[in-house]
Amino acid sequence: MIREVKNGNTTIKYELTRKKVKNINLRVKPDFTVAVSAPSRVSLRYLDEFVLSKADFINSAIEEYKNKTVARLEPRYTPEEFTALIKRYFDEVYTKFIPYNIDRPQLRLKRMKSRWGSCNFVKRVIALSTNLIYCTEEQIYYVVVHEFSHLLVHNHSKAFYDIVSVFCPDYKRIRREMNSIMLE
Ligand SMILES: [Zn+2]
C-alpha cells in the first residue's frame, strides 16, 4: 500500500507492508523510494507521524544516494588507461602469488552486473568487471587480490581473508568503500 504524508511543501510517499515484525522498519531504497514495514497493530495515523518524524533522515539518505550515483557515472580512466591498469595489476598480483604454486590464470575483462570480479578456479579464469573503471587503483588492486585468493580458497571463509590480508592488509576498509559504489 502506498501512502502519502505532507511535510511542509514536500510530500513523502512511502510503501507500507504489513509484516510479522516487532518494530517499525523504515528503509530508503536506492531508487529514492521509502519502504516501511510494520506489524498490523500499529495504526496508519501513527505510521504517518512516524514517517514524518524521519523526514530529515529520509532526505539525507536520498542526498547520499544521489552523491553515490554521480560518483558511479564518472570513469576515472580512459579505456586505454583502464585496460593497461588492469593488466598491470593482474601481472603484479600474479607475481605475488607465484610462491603459492599457482598456474597463471587467464584474464577476462567483461561486463558484470552486480560483481566486481569472479574466479573460475576449475577453468582457471579470473574475470574482472568493466565497472572497475569507476574505481580507484587501490580498489582495483583489492579486487585482483580477492580473485587470485579464490584460486587457493574457494569460499569467503576466514582462511580466505587471511590470504587476502597478506597482500591487502586494509581490505576491510576498501571493501566497505566499494560497497557504497552503486552499480546499475
Ligand atoms: Zn569472492
pLDDT digits (tens, 9 = 90+) for 160-179: 999 999 999 999 999 988 88
Ligand 1 centroid to Cα of residue 66, in Å, is 28
Cβ neighbors of 27 (< 8 A, separation 6 or more) are 34, 35, 36
pLDDT on residue 65: 80
State mean pLDDT over 66-92. 86
Residue-range domain boundaries for the chain: 2-73, 79-179
pLDDT on residue 73: 60
What are the backbone dihedrals phi and psi of residue 73, each rounded to the nearest 5 degrees, phi first?
Answer: -80, -5
Domain 79-179 fold: Zincin-like (3.30.2010)
Of the segments 34-43, 54-63, 83-92, 107-116, which one has the largest average pLDDT value?
83-92
Ligand 1 centroid to Cα of residue 169, in Å, is 16
pLDDT on residue 31: 80
C-alpha distances in Å from residue 103, one per residue of 8, 91, 99, 109, 121: 64, 13, 11, 19, 11
Ligand 1 centroid to Cα of residue 87, in Å, is 20
pLDDT on residue 76: 92
Strands (E), the chain: 2-7, 10-18, 25-28, 34-38, 106-110, 117-120, 125-129
pLDDT on residue 71: 54
- By the 10 Å C-beta count (0-12 exposed, 13-18 middle, 19+ buried), 123 is classed as exposed
56-65, 143-152, 155-164, range with the lowest pLDDT: 56-65
Q: Give the position of cell 501512502.
A: 3
Ligand 1 centroid to Cα of residue 130, in Å, is 17
Averaged pLDDT score across all residues of the chain: 91
Ligand 1 centroid to Cα of residue 156, in Å, is 6
Ligand 1 centroid to Cα of residue 143, in Å, is 9
pLDDT on residue 29: 87
pLDDT on residue 125: 97
